[in-house]
Amino acid sequence: MTVSAAGENQITRIRIRIPPKYHQEPVISRLVSQYGLTVNIAAALLGQNAREDGWFDLQLQGTSAQIRSALIYLNDLDLEVFDELNK
């Protein structure tokens, strides 16, 4: 994750795994509506039958505080979050 001064926008790239129990939940939408982030879905894999995990490569744009809060939210849902996309 890129660190920036408070209040400055930054872009963070992550990969998240969405298990089937969250397929009907607006997980990504909440990153926008509740945390004020701009979200770009760079890549996604979600089976047509929705019986398996979905994977999303996301670019999150917002302040450091917004991104930290959103990552806490994803962690609280117990979703796997990978940030190796920055490496």
Q: What pLDDT, on the 0 to 100 scale, is given for residue 52?
A: 83
Q: What pLDDT, on the 0 to 100 scale, is given for residue 5?
A: 53
- Report if residue 2 sits inside a domain: no
Run means of pLDDT, 10 residues per run, the chain, 87 residues: 63 94 91 97 82 91 96 95 69
Residue 64, number of CB atoms within 10 A of its CB: 18
- Report if residue 16 sits inside a domain: yes
Q: What pLDDT, on the 0 to 100 scale, is given for residue 24?
A: 86
Looking up residue 81, the CATH number of its domain turns out to be 3.30.70.260
Q: What pLDDT, on the 0 to 100 scale, is given for residue 33?
A: 97
- Cα(48)–Cα(17) distance, integer angstroms: 16
- Report if residue 79 sits inside a domain: yes
- Report if residue 1 sits inside a domain: no
- Report if residue 66 sits inside a domain: yes
Range of the domain at 29: 9-86
Residue 30, number of CB atoms within 10 A of its CB: 16
- Report if residue 80 sits inside a domain: yes
- Report if residue 25 sits inside a domain: yes
Q: What pLDDT, on the 0 to 100 scale, is given for residue 11?
A: 94
Q: Are 42 and 13 in contact (CB under 8 A)?
A: yes
Q: Say how many domains are in the chain.
A: 1
